[in-house]
């Protein structure tokens, strides 16, 4: 027993010398937000999402340090408040909406982080402050004849653009996933609204997804599950009623734990505008998808909470 303890102690000391570097780049431009909003972000987000990481003594002990370093690397890759000036205003708003969405779903801050950093846990008042701030950044919706005109014009084209009969082949993303026109006959799983860019979204599920939702076998979702998240522009009439306008895009999540093992068991694809132009400049565009969905790892990487069927 004594020899075992000595070996364990030597091993523990030895692993302290393997320390992945945590790169602290200069602060080029910080987020400009009200003081109460900034205080919440700094307390709950900055350690992993800025160049102002403040490691506690227990964060620096391996193997915990390895996990911390990995979280910081991935966190700053997806969102870095210390390089805020490098993002276009529309992208800044989208990043804030995404961050709030993950906070509201209790995916962020990570529970493992909150356990050792209880000060990072957000209260209901913190969440309310963040929601009010993000909502204030959304474009002000008002009657827009240009949007109505664009919608009416698109209606004349959309059926032809979304059927296989009018095109020799289906558009295909760079990772090999083709556009799936059948989603229009699927049932809705859920819906979302993007405060930051004025779009309305419905998530449709194929028969396998609907069956899993009914049977509550969604963590993990079964192989063969396909989601189609469709986004339209919002149109508001003179009475203040909001309806769907021009088609913006459709995104797919396809579950195949063997085929898509390198992307967490899911295949992703996105097709933009009525022309259904594949998103991405290279096949690794899916790294963006994984990065966004990573906080939902404990929920099979899915944000969607199915409505009752």
Mean pLDDT of the region 40-59: 92
Count how many residues are written for the chain: 309
**pLDDT of amino acid 157:** 62
201-224 exposure pattern, b = at least 16 Cβ within 10 A, e = fewer: bbbbbbeebbebbeeeebeebeee
pLDDT band at 48 (very low <50, low <70, confident <90, very high): very high
**pLDDT of amino acid 300:** 94
Percent of the chain exceeding pLDDT 70 equals: 88
Return d(Cα 49, Cα 295) in angstroms, integer.
13
**pLDDT of amino acid 258:** 94
Measured at the alpha carbon of residue 98, what is the angle toward residues 150 and 175, in degrees to the nearest 5? 75
The answer on pLDDT for 165 being more than 50 is no
139 vs 41: which has the higher pLDDT: 41
Among residues 190, 167, 185, 180, the alpha carbon closest in space to that of 250 is found at 180
Query: For 109-154, how does the pLDDT look when each residue is reduced to its tens digit (9 = 90+)?
Result: 988 889 889 999 999 999 999 999 988 887 666 656 666 676 666 6
The answer on pLDDT for 58 being more than 90 is no
**pLDDT of amino acid 139:** 66
The answer on pLDDT for 36 being more than 60 is yes
Cα separation of the two ends of the chain: 58
Mean pLDDT of the region 218-246: 86
The answer on pLDDT for 162 being more than 70 is no
pLDDT band at 4 (very low <50, low <70, confident <90, very high): confident
Residues 12/5, Cβ–Cβ less than 8 Å: no
**Which residues are CB-contacts of 96 (< 8 A; sequence separation ≥ 6)?**
133, 134, 137, 196
Mean pLDDT of the region 84-108: 87
21-25, 27-31, 54-58: least confident range:
21-25
The predicted model scores a pTM of: 0.66
Q: Which long-range contacts (CB under 8 A, 24 or more apart) does 59-67 make?
A: 59/116, 61/16, 62/15, 62/16, 62/18, 62/19, 63/15, 65/19, 65/20, 66/18, 66/20, 67/112
Percent of the chain exceeding pLDDT 90 equals: 39
The answer on pLDDT for 168 being more than 60 is no
**pLDDT of amino acid 159:** 57
Match 């390198």 to its residue by tokens: 262
**pLDDT of amino acid 243:** 77
**pLDDT of amino acid 160:** 56
Q: What is the mean pLDDT of the chain?
A: 86
pLDDT band at 205 (very low <50, low <70, confident <90, very high): very high
CA 262 to chain centre: 18
């Amino acid at each position: 027993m004594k020899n075992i303890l000595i070996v364990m102690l030597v091993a523990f000391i030895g692993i302290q010398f393997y320390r992945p570097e945590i790169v602290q780049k200069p602060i080029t431009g910080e987020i400009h937000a009200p003081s109460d909003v900034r205080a919440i972000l700094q307390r709950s987000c900055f350690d992993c999402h800025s160049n102002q990481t403040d490691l506690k003594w227990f964060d620096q002990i391996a193997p915990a340090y390895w996990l911390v370093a990995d979280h910081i690397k991935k966190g700053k890759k997806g969102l870095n408040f210390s390089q805020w000036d490098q993002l276009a205003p529309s992208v800044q708003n989208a990043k804030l909406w995404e961050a709030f969405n993950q906070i509201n779903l209790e995916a962020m801050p990570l529970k493992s982080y909150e356990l050792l950093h209880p000060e990072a846990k957000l209260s209901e008042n913190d969440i309310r402050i963040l929601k009010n701030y993000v909502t204030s950044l959304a474009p002000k919706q008002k009657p827009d004849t240009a949007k109505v005109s664009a919608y009416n014009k698109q209606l004349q084209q959309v059926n032809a653009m979304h059927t296989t009969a009018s095109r020799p082949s289906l558009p295909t993303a760079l990772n090999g996933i083709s556009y799936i026109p059948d989603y229009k006959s699927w049932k809705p799983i859920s819906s979302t609204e993007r405060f930051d860019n004025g779009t309305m979204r419905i998530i449709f599920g194929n028969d396998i997804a609907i069956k899993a939702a009914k049977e509550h076998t969604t963590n993990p979702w079964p192989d063969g599950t396909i989601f189609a998240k469709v986004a339209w522009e919002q149109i508001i009439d003179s009475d203040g009623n909001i309806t769907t306008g021009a088609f913006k895009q459709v995104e797919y999540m396809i579950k195949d734990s063997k085929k898509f093992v390198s992307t967490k068991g899911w295949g992703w694809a996105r097709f933009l505008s009525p022309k259904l132009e594949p998103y991405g400049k290279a096949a690794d565009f899916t790294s963006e998808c994984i990065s966004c969905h990573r906080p939902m790892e404990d929920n099979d990487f899915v944000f969607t909470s199915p409505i009752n069927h």
